[in-house]
Amino acid sequence: MLVFGAGVFVLGLACAALHLERTAYRFASVTLAIVMLVAHREPAWVMAAHRFAEVAIGIAVGLGMAVVWPDRHPASSA
């Protein structure tokens, strides 16, 4: 818990030093929680392969949704 708390504190300092918005700090903290608090019971290469597959599937689904359900902009009368 101390290492996690220190990590969140360092993220706060880094975001403040880079003049980032609070949203960036929130996303960085959530990412830190996901990476640090997941139990690692498998070898590192298995975890890396699973993480790669999860991200690749997420990107594919996001791109597929962008094609199937595109963002429609109203026609401007200018």
pLDDT digits (tens, 9 = 90+) for 11-37: 999 999 999 888 899 999 998 888 887
The answer to whether the CB of 33 falls within 8 A of the CB of 1 is no
**Banded model confidence at residue 61, pLDDT cuts 50, 70, 90:** very high
Distance from C-alpha of 45 to C-alpha of 56, rounded to nearest angstrom? 16
pLDDT digits (tens, 9 = 90+) for 33-59: 888 877 778 888 888 888 889 889 999
The answer to whether the CB of 12 falls within 8 A of the CB of 25 is yes
Q: Is the pTM higher than 0.75?
A: no
